[in-house]
């Protein structure tokens, strides 16, 4: 899964592609649940990369990122479910969800972007909670979101007659629902990665990095910091919106409890743990933090049995304990993340800052 | 009018608790520029330790007041040790790391502490032993209890003590110097490590006191109680201007009163469209509005850029 | 366990796991055709509840209920399809998170469980139910009360507890009976609390009760003074709370501190020992409801409580008896269908008529509990005291039950007789199987009939006492 220099070369890309294509079939040997976990891992890669634009590139600490995800998810849920009796097609909803999320990003960003660091963090955190609480309560006086009951029977992704739920035969290969979503998500993720890479090396991306490093200096050399920060917010938010739409379709059910603060924190943890501003690092962080709790869930119990011969500690408590410890330890020994960008690593070594 | 007074009392008591917890955040932030996300868990541990200690002492036949005091002492000691350990293990090694790194460590520690507490005290809600006799007062149509008065008094006394410490002692001077500029302070002979550790330890002790207050007031505790409380208190600290002690206290009390009045009146003001279901967002809305006009909080001084 | 480990390894190093997973076999084939000797068939029952997070204590309680049921079934030694059956519980944690709920549901589908007990929360039960429905695995929840769960139209979704509509309605009826004129409604903005409060509101308003305040809190709150102060100013006679014990207890206490004299009423979420523990003396005289009849009034209730506390050393929290019944209904359906294959025994689940700990369990077309009687309790002297049972006239219901039971007994007798002749003819193979099934069914129906008679007598007595 590594994508270092080697993968810039043709055989490298070929190998990576082969791995990506084979992965869901390999995972399916362990059960469709693992394919589903993979799906979520990629969904989180998607989200983490979106947040990476805001936090990693532009250096804006956003603790309410999940709000945009929620906007996308509810856009899909409302426009493709029996709730309003609407069943719009994907090419209409997904861009609309992204657009609405983008609008929400601008709405949040425009009054708050002059705030610095931790003040911005708490305001975005508040915004995330505000969105969730509104979703939870907009069932009266007019029932828009159906409140805490959530929305059920949401349409799966479909292109014409080709539905993404349930198994189908393609070219003699049987593909399950989660496997189809896997390929859709991988395609979208690759798109996001390309956009991220292009952005990072573009004029805009460099301007963001300048703002991240020193806002005053950036302003002094003529960068329109306000507009560029807004752009970062809007771009990050649109990715969140798209991810939300897919989540909605994949789950078939959304309710406000899926969009709590802890989700925002988890996505931020993925970005920071992997290596802020470094795309392969962020991907690694997202995959690790999605898969690790699952591995622990099924690994801790049997492991205890094997080592001690009996259950000493309730595996469920131990799972989260180990997860928390892992966060602490990784940050302790790799403060710039597991796979930081080379420049960042150099900085750390040189200045100790 | 009796409702208004009652709501003010409700808010004042809740706000005093927020203020005590907010002090823990603001002390650490003021000195290190670090959000100690695990502070809410310290408060939780404080409550649970008191339950265990005071509860077992009462069972052993000790007078209630004495057992309560012993519980408080135990909580303060445990939390001070915890604060010290947190700083030592999770934050000190990262002092020169990128700014977001300690934030993730803090989240990690928060998860660890919650799950440790779950292993020790179980998943159930626990009841806090009744430490104080139930005395109800009525004043101008508003009801309040002895414990509410005690909470406000203890909070005020603790905060006063803290202000004395920071502005009248040598340690306080060292703290202020470190907050201004750690490098220069260390050149002046201030032991930065000790000062920062002291900030953590004192903040945690305040957290323990807050934990005991919360426990005694609601008579209920749970291993997840720290998270929401911490979040609100942190909001309060930012509202007042994070890093500013007086700001944290006033921010806390203000937040408590805003929440109470918001829940009490917003429904009538908006003709029932916005009701108490939006109670939790008043705090954030006020915060956003305040920060739009005063970007460093109500009482925060205009500081330079903290990279 | 070996198989599990290899699954884990898979995610770490997919390539490595490829070979390991090749060895992963289902531990024992399900519903194996019965060979000559008596084989042991392993029946896997999935159980899902939150084991982490704020509702972990309820999740553990649910799991205990399921564990108890499975152990009893195994001790009893059931025979299905001519093979000895061993029930195994596959526990999963959904952390009350819908996303986790879907993942563990998929996990259970992959593990080819024969049936699923759970989940605890409606929020996770609903998205998971789609996966079970697609896989054709019967799902019986002991605690998901959101009406939507069964309204989605899945044939596999059942619950052994009255839903929020049934409960909210009965609570409304009770408020009317108490002669309440004004009520304040509080809900905790969860799917459960809001659903219950809305149904209560409908019933109360329909009966002419004035709703003078609608206030809201969250399922994480501990301070309710602000909303209670507002309620106090409306002078409501009754405060209805749609939510759980962890909020209800402190809320009752804070009502008392504020000098609010109104009564406090809530659903099954506050009918727990926890509510009393957390509310202290303030819970005295307050009302709550539980679906079905009180444990003490039920033939098997006290025995169940005794078994439970003996085994787990603690009080029943809330849903354990319902989860216990859910397991039993699942097993009972398998026995009646004489198969552990979900395809074969699913129809039998719908036709359940099982005398459980909590109620006489029958399902309607949607999979909801039929009848769904709701009992009201009052906290008196630190105990839950039974007040009355609502939901249809108990006397009529009892009579109807009695008639049906008699008819069933007759049918059963016929079936037994038929079986006897079949055996008499010394028919082998299928005929013998059929006979056994019929006899088994007959026995059950007789048992059920007897229970119904007992229920009826109980209800009659209660009705007489009321008069």
pLDDT tens track for C34-67:
445 567 888 999 999 988 776 777 888 999 999 9
Who's near A120: CB < 8 A, 6+ residues apart? Answer: A60, A61, A62, A112, A113
Instruction: Tell me which chain C residue has its CA closest to the CA of residue B225.
Output: C220
Q: What is the pLDDT of residue A117?
A: 72
Partner residue opposite B238 with nearest CB, options A119, A130, A215: A119
Q: What is the pLDDT of residue A353?
A: 42
Rounded Cα distance, C325 and C295, in Å? 13
Q: What is the pLDDT of residue C220?
A: 84
Best of B98, B232, B255, B279 to disrupt the A interface (most A CBs within 10 Å) is: B98
Partner residue opposite C152 with nearest CB, options A147, A152, A299: A152
Do C226 and B228 lie within an 8 Å CB cutoff? Answer: no
Residue whose entry in the numeric block shows the structure tokens 């039971």: C405
The residue-averaged pLDDT of B216-226 equals 89
**Do the Cβ atoms of C328 and C359 come closer than 8 Å?**
no
The distance of A9 to chain B (nearest Cα, Å) reads 32
Do A272 and B101 lie within an 8 Å CB cutoff? Answer: yes
How many other β-carbons are positioned within 10 Å of the β-carbon of residue A342? 8
pLDDT of C205 above 70: yes
The residue-averaged pLDDT of B8-26 equals 92
Q: What is the pLDDT of residue A114?
A: 79
Please list every residue in chain C whose beta carbon sits closer than 8 Å to the beta carbon of residue A151.
none
pLDDT > 90: percent of chain C = 23
How many other β-carbons are positioned within 10 Å of the β-carbon of residue C47? 28
Please list every residue in chain B whose beta carbon sits closer than 8 Å to the beta carbon of residue A118.
29, 33, 35, 238, 242
| Residue C429 pLDDT grade (very low, low, confident, very high; cuts 50, 70, 90) | low
**Mean pLDDT across chain C, nearest whole number?**
78
Please list every residue in chain A whose beta carbon sits closer than 8 Å to the beta carbon of residue B114.
320, 324
**Is A180 or B142 the better-scoring residue by pLDDT?**
A180
Q: For residue range C15-35, list pLDDT tens digits in order.
A: 433 334 444 444 444 444 444
Do C250 and B218 lie within an 8 Å CB cutoff? Answer: yes
- Cis-peptide into C119, omega within 30 deg: yes
Domains identified in chain B, total number:
1
Of A323-337, B162-176, C202-216, the range with the lowest mean pLDDT is A323-337
Please list every residue in chain A whose beta carbon sits closer than 8 Å to the beta carbon of residue C15.
26
What is the three-state SS of chain B? CHHHHHHHHHHHHHHHHHHHHHHHHHHHHHHHCCCCCCHHHHHHHHHHHHHHHHHHHHHCCCCHHHHHHHHHHHHHHHHHHHHHHHHHHHHHHHCCCCCCHHHHHHHHHHHHHHHHHHHHHCCCCEECCCCCCCCEEEECCEEEEHHHHHHHHHHHHHHHHHHHHHHHCHHHHHHHHHHHCHHHHHHCCCCHHHHHHHHHHHHHHHHHHHHHHHHHHHCEECCCHHHHHHHHHHHHHHHHCCCCHHHHHHHHHHHHHHHHHHHHHHHHHCCCCCCHHHHHHHHHHHHHHHHHHCCCCCCCCCCCCCC
How many other β-carbons are positioned within 10 Å of the β-carbon of residue C9? 17
Best of A23, A27, A31, A139 to disrupt the C interface (most C CBs within 10 Å) is: A31
Which chains would you list as touching B if contact means 3+ CB atom pairs under 8 Å? A, C
Q: What is the pLDDT of residue C413?
A: 57
Partner residue opposite A116 with nearest CB, options B107, B234, B305: B305
Instruction: Answer whether residue B165 is part of any domain.
Output: yes
Do C274 and B123 lie within an 8 Å CB cutoff? Answer: no
Q: Domain map of chain A by residue range?
A: 14-277
Closest CA relative to residue C57, chosen from C307, C318, C301, C288? C318
Q: For residue range B42-92, list pLDDT tens digits in order.
A: 999 999 999 999 999 998 988 888 998 999 999 999 999 999 999 998 888
Which chains would you list as touching A if contact means 3+ CB atom pairs under 8 Å? B, C
Angle between helix C191-206 and C122-135 (nearest 10): 100
Best of B107, B120, B236, B301 to disrupt the A interface (most A CBs within 10 Å) is: B107
pLDDT of C180 above 70: yes
Do A123 and B287 lie within an 8 Å CB cutoff? Answer: yes
Do C17 and A26 lie within an 8 Å CB cutoff? Answer: yes
| Residue B33 pLDDT grade (very low, low, confident, very high; cuts 50, 70, 90) | confident
**pLDDT tens for the 353 residues of chain A, in order:** 444 555 567 777 888 888 888 888 888 887 788 888 899 999 999 999 999 999 888 888 888 999 999 999 999 999 998 888 888 888 899 999 999 999 999 998 888 877 877 788 888 988 998 999 999 988 877 888 888 888 888 888 888 778 787 777 777 777 788 888 999 999 989 998 998 888 888 999 999 989 888 888 999 999 998 899 999 999 999 999 999 999 999 888 888 888 988 889 889 889 988 888 889 999 999 998 888 888 877 777 677 777 776 666 666 677 778 888 888 888 888 888 888 887 766 766 655 44
pLDDT of C155 above 60: yes
CA B213 to chain centre: 11
Q: What is the pLDDT of residue C6?
A: 43
**Do the Cβ atoms of A54 and A46 come closer than 8 Å?**
no
Instruction: Answer whether residue B295 is part of any domain.
Output: no
The distance of B112 to chain A (nearest Cα, Å) reads 5
C82 φ, ψ (degrees, to nearest 5): 80, 5
| Residue C127 pLDDT grade (very low, low, confident, very high; cuts 50, 70, 90) | confident
C289 φ, ψ (degrees, to nearest 5): -130, 155
Q: What is the pLDDT of residue B286?
A: 83
Instruction: Tell me which chain B residue has its CA closest to the CA of residue C317.
Output: B124
Question: Is B233 within 8 Å of chain C by CB?
Answer: no
Give burial (CB, 10 Å; 0-12/13-18/19+) of A201: exposed
Please list every residue in chain B whose beta carbon sits closer than 8 Å to the beta carbon of residue A217.
none
Instruction: Map residue A1 onto helix, strand or coil.
Output: coil
Please list every residue in chain C whose beta carbon sits closer than 8 Å to the beta carbon of residue A37.
11, 103
pLDDT winner (highest mean) among B199-203, C216-220, C460-464? B199-203
Q: If you count residue pairs, one on B and one on C, with CB atoms under 8 Å apart, how many are there?
A: 98
| Residue C441 pLDDT grade (very low, low, confident, very high; cuts 50, 70, 90) | low
pLDDT of C463 above 60: no
pLDDT of C95 above 90: no
Residue whose entry in the numeric block shows the structure tokens 């502005």: B167
Please list every residue in chain C whose beta carbon sits closer than 8 Å to the beta carbon of residue A176.
none
Question: Is A269 within 8 Å of chain B by CB?
Answer: yes
Partner residue opposite C146 with nearest CB, options A149, A165, A302: A149
Instruction: Tell me which chain B residue has its CA closest to the CA of residue C212.
Output: B272
pLDDT > 70: percent of chain C = 75
Do C223 and B218 lie within an 8 Å CB cutoff? Answer: yes
Do C257 and B143 lie within an 8 Å CB cutoff? Answer: yes
Do A323 and B111 lie within an 8 Å CB cutoff? Answer: yes
Complex ipTM value:
0.86
Q: What is the pLDDT of residue B162?
A: 92
Of B107-111, B127-131, B219-223, the range with the lowest mean pLDDT is B127-131
Best of A217, A225, A332 to disrupt the B interface (most B CBs within 10 Å) is: A332
Rounded Cα distance, C253 and C275, in Å? 10
Q: Whole-model pTM?
A: 0.81
**Is C191 or A309 the better-scoring residue by pLDDT?**
C191
Name the residue range of residue B69's domain: 13-226
Q: What is the pLDDT of residue A335?
A: 84
| Residue B304 pLDDT grade (very low, low, confident, very high; cuts 50, 70, 90) | very low
Instruction: Answer whether residue B24 is part of any domain.
Output: yes
| Residue C396 pLDDT grade (very low, low, confident, very high; cuts 50, 70, 90) | very low
Give burial (CB, 10 Å; 0-12/13-18/19+) of C416: middle
């Amino acid at each position: 899964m590594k994508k270092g220099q080697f993968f810039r070369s043709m055989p490298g890309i070929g190998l990576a592609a082969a791995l990506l294509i084979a992965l869901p079939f390999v995972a399916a040997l362990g059960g469709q649940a693992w394919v589903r976990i993979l799906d979520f891992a990629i969904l989180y890669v998607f989200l983490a990369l979106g947040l990476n634009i805001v936090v990693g590139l532009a250096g804006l600490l956003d603790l309410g990122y999940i709000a945009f995800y929620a906007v996308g998810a509810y856009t899909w849920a409302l426009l493709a479910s029996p709730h309003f009796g609407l069943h719009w097609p994907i090419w209409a909803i997904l861009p609309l969800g992204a657009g609405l999320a983008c609008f929400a990003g601008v709405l949040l960003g425009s009054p708050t972007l002059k705030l610095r660091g931790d003040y911005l963090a708490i305001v975005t955190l508040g915004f995330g909670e505000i969105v969730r609480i509104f979703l939870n309560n907009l069932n009266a006086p007019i029932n828009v979101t159906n409140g805490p009951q959530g929305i059920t029977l949401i349409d799966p992704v479909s292109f014409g007659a080709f539905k993404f739920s349930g198994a189908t035969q393609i070219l003699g290969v049987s593909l399950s629902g989660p496997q189809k979503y896997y390929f859709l998500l991988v395609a979208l993720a690759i798109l996001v990665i390309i956009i991220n890479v292009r952005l990072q090396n573009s004029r805009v991306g460099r301007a963001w990095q300048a703002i991240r490093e020193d806002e005053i200096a950036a302003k002094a050399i003529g960068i329109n910091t306000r507009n560029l920060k807004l752009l970062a917010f809007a771009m990050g938010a649109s990715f969140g919106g798209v991810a939300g739409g897919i989540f909605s379709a994949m789950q078939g059910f959304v309710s406000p409890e899926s969009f709590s603060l802890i989700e925002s924190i988890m996505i931020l943890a993925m970005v920071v743990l992997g290596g802020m501003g470094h795309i392969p690092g962020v991907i690694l962080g997202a995959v690790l933090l999605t898969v690790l709790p699952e591995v622990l869930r099924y690994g801790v119990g049997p492991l205890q049995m094997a080592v001690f011969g009996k259950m000493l500690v309730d595996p469920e408590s131990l799972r989260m304990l180990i997860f928390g410890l892992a966060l602490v330890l990784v940050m302790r020994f790799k403060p710039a993340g597991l796979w930081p960008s080379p420049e960042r690593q150099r900085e750390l070594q040189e200045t100790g800052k | 009018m009796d409702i208004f007074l009652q709501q003010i009392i409700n808010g004042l008591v809740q706000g005093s608790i927020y203020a005590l917890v907010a002090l823990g955040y603001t002390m650490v932030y003021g000195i290190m520029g670090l959000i100690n996300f695990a502070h809410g868990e310290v408060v939780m541990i404080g409550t649970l330790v008191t339950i265990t200690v005071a509860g077992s002492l009462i069972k052993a036949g000790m007078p209630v007041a004495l057992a309560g005091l012993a519980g408080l002492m135990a909580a303060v000691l445990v939390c001070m040790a915890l604060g010290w350990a947190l700083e030592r293990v999770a934050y000190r090694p990262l002092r020169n790391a990128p700014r977001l790194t300690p934030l993730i460590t803090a989240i990690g520690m928060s998860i660890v502490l919650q799950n440790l507490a779950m292993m020790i005290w179980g998943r159930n809600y626990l009841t806090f032993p009744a430490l104080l006799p139930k005395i109800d007062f009525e004043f101008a149509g508003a009801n309040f209890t002895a414990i509410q008065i005690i909470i406000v008094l203890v909070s005020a006394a603790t905060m006063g003590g803290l202000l004395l410490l920071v502005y009248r002692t040598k340690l306080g001077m060292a703290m202020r110097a470190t907050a201004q500029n750690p490098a220069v302070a260390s050149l002046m002979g201030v032991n930065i490590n000790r000062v920062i550790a002291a900030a953590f330890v004192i903040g945690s002790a305040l957290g323990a006191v807050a934990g005991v207050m919360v426990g005694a007031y609601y008579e209920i505790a749970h291993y997840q109680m720290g998270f929401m409380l911490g979040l609100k208190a942190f909001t309060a600290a930012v509202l007042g201007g994070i890093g500013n002690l007086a700001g944290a206290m006033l921010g806390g009390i203000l937040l408590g009163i805003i929440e109470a009045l918001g829940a009490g009146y917003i429904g009538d003001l908006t003709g029932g469209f916005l009701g108490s279901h939006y109670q939790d967002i008043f705090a954030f809305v006020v915060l956003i509005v305040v920060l739009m006009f005063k970007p460093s909080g109500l009482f925060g001084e205009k500081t330079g850029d903290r990279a | 366990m070996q198989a599990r480990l290899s699954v884990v390894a898979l995610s770490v190093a997919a390539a490595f796991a490829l070979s390991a997973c090749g060895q992963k076999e289902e531990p024992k084939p399900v519903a194996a055709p019965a060979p000559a000797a008596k084989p042991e068939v392993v029946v896997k029952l999935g159980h899902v509840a939150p084991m982490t997070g704020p509702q972990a204590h309820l999740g553990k309680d649910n799991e205990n209920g399921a564990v108890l049921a499975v152990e009893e079934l195994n001790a009893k030694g059931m025979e299905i399809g001519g093979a000895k059956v061993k029930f195994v519980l596959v526990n999963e944690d959904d952390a009350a998170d819908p996303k986790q709920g879907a993942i563990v549901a998929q996990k259970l589908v992959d593990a080819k469980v024969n049936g699923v007990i759970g989940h605890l929360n409606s929020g996770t039960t609903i998205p998971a139910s789609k996966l079970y429905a697609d896989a054709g695995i019967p799902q019986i929840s002991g605690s998901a009360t959101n009406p939507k769960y069964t309204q989605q139209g899945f044939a596999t979704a059942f619950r052994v507890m009255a839903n929020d509509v049934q409960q909210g309605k009965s609570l409304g009826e009770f408020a009317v009976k108490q002669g309440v004129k004004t009520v304040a409604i509080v809900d905790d903005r969860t799917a459960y609390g809001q659903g219950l409060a809305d149904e209560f509101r409908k019933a109360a308003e329909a009966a002419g009760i004035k709703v003078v305040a609608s206030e809201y809190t969250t399922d994480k709150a501990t301070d309710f003074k602000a909303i209670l102060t507002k309620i106090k100013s409306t002078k409501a006679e009754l405060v209805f709370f749609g939510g759980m014990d962890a909020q209800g207890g402190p809320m009752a206490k804070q009502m008392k501190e504020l000098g609010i004299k109104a009564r406090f009423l809530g659903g099954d979420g506050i009918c727990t020992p926890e509510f009393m523990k957390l509310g202290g003396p303030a819970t005295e005289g307050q009302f709550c409801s539980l679906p079905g009849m009180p444990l003490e009034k039920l033939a098997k209730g006290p025995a169940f409580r005794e078994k439970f506390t003996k085994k787990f050393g603690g009080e029943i929290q809330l849903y354990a008896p319902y989860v216990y019944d859910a397991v039993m209904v699942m097993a009972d359906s398998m026995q009646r269908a004489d198969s552990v294959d979900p395809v074969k025994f699913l129809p039998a689940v719908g036709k359940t008529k099982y005398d459980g700990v909590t109620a006489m369990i029958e399902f309607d077309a949607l999979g909801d509990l039929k009848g769904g009687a709701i009992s009201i309790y009052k906290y008196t002297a630190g105990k839950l005291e039974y007040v009355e049972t609502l939901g249809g006239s108990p006397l009529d219901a009892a009579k109807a039950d009695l008639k049906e039971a008699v008819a069933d007994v007759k049918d059963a007798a016929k079936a037994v007789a038929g079986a006897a002749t079949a055996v008499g003819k010394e028919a082998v193979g299928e005929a013998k199987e059929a006979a056994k099934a019929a006899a088994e069914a007959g026995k059950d129906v007789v048992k059920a009939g007897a229970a119904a008679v007992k229920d009826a007598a109980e209800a009659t007595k209660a009705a007489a006492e009321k008069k």
